[in-house]
Amino acid sequence: MSRIEGVMKALKDQGRKALIPYITAGDPHPDQSVGLMHTLVKAGADIIELGVPFSDPMADGPVIQLACERALVHGTTLRQVIAMVKEFRKTDDSTPIVLMGYLNPMEAMGYEAFADAAADAGVDGILTVDLPHEEADEVAPLFAARNLDPIFLMAPTTTDERIKAISEHSSGYVYYVSIKGVTGSATINVDEVAEKVAHIHNIMALPVGVGFGIRDADTAAAISRVSDGVIVGSVLVDTIARHQADPDALKKALTDLLHPMRVAMDNPAS
Amino acid sequence: MSVKLTEEMLKALPDARGHFGAFGGRFVSETLIDSLMTLEREYLRLKDDAEFQATFDKDLADYVGRPSPLYFAERLTKKAGGAQIWLKREDLNHTGAHKVNNTIGQALLASFLGKKRIIAETGAGQHGVATATVCARLGLECHVFMGAEDVKRQSLNVYRMKLLGATVHAVQSGTKTLKDAMNDAMRDWVANVDDTFYIIGTVAGPHPYPLLVRDFQSVIGRETRRQSLVQAGKLPDALVACVGGGSNAIGMFHPFLADETVELYGVEAGGLGIETGQHAAPLCAGRPGVLHGNRTYLMEDENGQIAATHSVSAGLDYPGVGPEHSWLKDIGRAHYVSVTDDEALDGFRMLTQIEGIMPALETAHAVAYAVKLAATMDKDKMIVINISGRGDKDIHTIAQLDGIEI
């Protein structure tokens, strides 16, 4: 059983849902990333999605584009991101890490070298935004051989036929993109998400994490009731942008944002 | 080493997943997949639909002014001192460039699909103008994304688009050029996918765009082939076209791919010189990677980050290239070369001064290379340059380089 599967199963047994924060590695500075990952865990994260910065993140909005630019100014590379995971693993052997990014940095590193290094560092899943399963023939066996869970996206526009096909190529969980738009854009509609997630669960059995548009504890709690996990990205990255000059204030601000989400998700009465 | 391509082989490309050999494909976020599959299905149906094709042909004739002439450039030929140089006059099209062939075709597709809102990216502004033009004609809402840097360089075209009723969005992210405009157009499309048609201006992007843009632009090569046989009594020995994303070049090359005797030359922007790294020549100096929905030659650093490009010409200032060109390069069917900013400016002046034809700075790259190439060929040989656009939009840039304020 992969680390992601283990966490998802344990949460299910406890009747809880996964809280999955996203930050861009190297933002605001590569030296701070490992510390921020531990902060996220302390604040209640079950799984961390660690963004690999890319110069042209075309599925992301301005908040994450700027995070990529901040990380790239300091020369953050995919190899460094993998090294951050290795460092994180020295003191945390239980929190799954999903690398989330675009295909080209992986292709430039070489798929096999990437898969080897990621597995060796203790990475658990790979989410490649611009890699639909139809184009994943080359990487899928490399990931499978190293127990790296391939995480794919589903969207409001995804047809039943594709839901089935995507689930057959996925393990760990699938990432449901709750809105038509880029990261950090519109407001989430809980009823629509509930309906679509239920529909997806009629077709496949993997856990469904929901992302895009979750900005506060109330929304996180509402989405957690209709899905298996809540993915929070732009609002955290925006917080990083606002506190980039003061590392201690940044850790506190991230905690103040994430921890209430954890509490609200775990306490259905609230 | 070149391979012999047959009509049969060419018909099978791109394959069902949009691949040209190792290149092309559909590397986009899941949100866009359904729209791309719908577009592909509808296009493959309409491509052989008599009414669609008849409407397209009629628009090209009556609205664009096709066929564009094939002109023998006698004085340029003498100046170059070798092969005969002929010019395919896409600069005479309505709106002043080849771009309109494609926007007519895609706007027609949008109408057949019932989409009322159009978005486009643009570099030099020619594709933006061509898109704004067809939108004005069809009464469609038009949004053009243009890098803030290019908005400055091409203010005339920005104003033309506004006059035509389009909203121009100056893109402030990244390098503020064509690639960033394409990122933002993609982002808009993801958010408005239900009512919006994205008219991509070049043969790059996710499948089926490289296919349909190539098909719409292939009218250039089909006419050139026919006109060469009538006017010169033979096929050309060489075709020369500039390559940014590569739509004018593929439009010229594609109908000749099975004609073994016709050599194909794509001319990339050498900028300040390939050796300086300040250029926009992914086929000459890049390597394969994935950007904007397709696998193709790219300019990138060793970590897979897309590199900043440089060219005096905004329309060539792009780090990628259409996947079919990448394939043609790897199988050796086409040659890809580059000329520098300075050589292109010389080409601009030469064609202006001895033929009275002012080419776009993009096109001037092809002119500069063709003149060099002609000098190495016998006098009975024939070169056709695709004069992909006219230079009115570049007069400010040229004047500025001359230190003149206008």
Q: Identify whether B274 is part of a domain.
A: yes
Distances, alpha carbon B210 to alpha carbons A49, A143, B76, B251, B356, in Å: 33, 30, 33, 11, 34
B16 occurs within a structural domain = no
Q: Can you tell me whether residue A78 is helix, strand or coil?
A: helix
Residue B364 lies in a domain: yes
Which two three-digit tokens encode residue A215? Answer: 């900005």
What distance in Å separates residue B117's CA from the closest CA in chain A?
Answer: 16
Judged against a pLDDT cut of 60, whether residue A270 lies above it is answered with no
The pLDDT assigned to B4 comes to 82
Find chain B residues with C-beta within 8 A of A58's C-beta.
Answer: 29, 182-183, 186-187, 292
Q: What is the pLDDT of residues B99-150, one digit of tens each?
A: 999 999 999 999 989 999 999 999 889 999 999 999 999 999 999 999 999 9
Check A5, A27, A46, A49 and give the catalytic one. Answer: A49
pLDDT at position A181 is 79
Same domain, B306 and B223: yes
Q: Which residue of B has its CA nearest to A78?
A: B303
Where in chain A are the domains? Answer: 3-266
Residue A130's pLDDT band (cuts 50, 70, 90): very high
Of all residues in chain B, the one with the smallest CA distance to A109 is: B303
- C-alpha B251/C-alpha B267 separation (Å) is 14
The yes-or-no verdict on residue A256 having pLDDT over 70 is: yes
Chain B residues touching residue A156 (CB < 8 angstroms): 31
Is A67 an 8 Å CB contact of chain B?
A: no
Distance from CA of B140 to the nearest CA of A (A): 22
Instruction: Determine, yes or no, domain membership for B37.
Output: yes
Q: Are residues B77 and B161 in the same domain?
A: no
pLDDT of residue B1: 45
Q: How far apart are CA B316 and CA B314, in angstroms?
A: 6
Closest-approach residue (CA) in chain B for A72: B305
Decide if pLDDT at A52 tops 80.
yes
**Residue B173 resides in a domain:** yes
Q: Is A163 on the interface with B (CB under 8 A)?
A: no
CB A124 within 8 A of CB A3: yes
Please give the C-alpha separations between residue B175 and each of A262, B114, B158, B186, B306, in angstroms, as whole numbers: 39, 34, 19, 16, 10
Q: For the domain that residue B149 is a member of, what is the CATH number?
A: 3.40.50.1100
* Domain contains B10: no
B306 belongs to a structural domain: yes
Report if residue B15 sits inside a domain.
no
Residue B128: give the domain boundaries.
27-59+98-213
Query: Does one domain contain both B78 and B144?
Result: no
B265 and B331 inside one domain: yes
The pLDDT assigned to B2 comes to 57
Q: Tell whether B240 and B318 lie within a shared domain.
A: yes
Which residues are registered as beta bridge partners of B242?
B267
% of chain B at pLDDT higher than 90? 90
pLDDT tens digit string along A137-191? 999 999 999 999 999 999 999 999 999 999 999 999 999 999 887 777 777 899 9
Domain end call among B213, B243, B269: B213
Same domain, B233 and B380: yes
Q: What percent of chain B has pLDDT over 70?
A: 99
Average pLDDT over residues A1-13: 96
Cis amide linkage into residue A132, ω under 30° from 0: no
Determine whether A216 is an active site residue: no
Question: What is the average pLDDT across B176-205?
Answer: 93
Give the distance from residue B323's alpha carbon to the nearest chain A alpha carbon, in angstroms.
Answer: 15
pLDDT digits (tens, 9 = 90+) for A27-39: 999 999 999 999 9
Q: Check if B40 is active-site.
A: no
Q: Which of B87, B85, B103 is nearest to B95 (CA)?
A: B103
With 60 as the cut, is the pLDDT of residue B293 above it? Answer: yes
On whether any CB of chain B is under 8 Å from the CB of A166, the answer is yes
B361 and B226 within one domain = yes
CATH of A3-266, one of 3.40.605.10, 3.20.20.70, 3.40.50.2000, 3.30.460.80: 3.20.20.70
Q: For residue A196, give how far its alpha carbon lies from the nearest alpha carbon of chain B (Å).
A: 14
Active site residue B116: no
With residue B329 as reference, give the H or E element that holds it. helix B323-330
Are residues B106 and B85 part of one domain? Answer: no
Q: Given this model, what pLDDT does residue B9 score?
A: 87
Residues B192 and B243 in one domain: no
pLDDT of residue A269: 59
pLDDT mean over B70-80: 98
Residue A124 has pLDDT above 50, yes or no: yes
pLDDT in tens, B206-239: 999 999 999 999 999 999 999 999 999 999 999 9
Interface of A with B in 118-157 (CB under 8 A): 129-132, 134-135, 152-157
pLDDT > 90: what percent of chain A? 92
- Considering the domain architecture, whether residues B394 and B290 belong to the same structural domain is answered as yes
Interhelix angle B323-330/B209-217, rounded to 10 degrees, is 80
B24-43 pLDDT per residue, tens:
999 999 999 999 999 999 99
Boundary residue ending a domain (B194, B213, B232) = B213
Same domain, B39 and B72: no
Q: How far apart are the first and last CA of chain A?
A: 33
Q: Which of A108, A132, A177 sits opposite B289 (nearest CB)?
A: A108
**pTM for this model (two decimals):** 0.96
Structural domain tally of chain B? 2
Q: Is the pLDDT of residue A49 over 60?
A: yes
Q: Could you say which of B171, B188, B213 is where a domain stops?
A: B213
- Which of the four pLDDT bands, split at 50, 70 and 90, describes residue B91? very high
Verify whether the Cβ–Cβ distance A108 to B304 is below 8 Å: yes
pLDDT (0 to 100) of residue B130: 96
- B223 and B152 share one domain: no
As given in the structure block, the two tokens for residue B156 are 């005339």
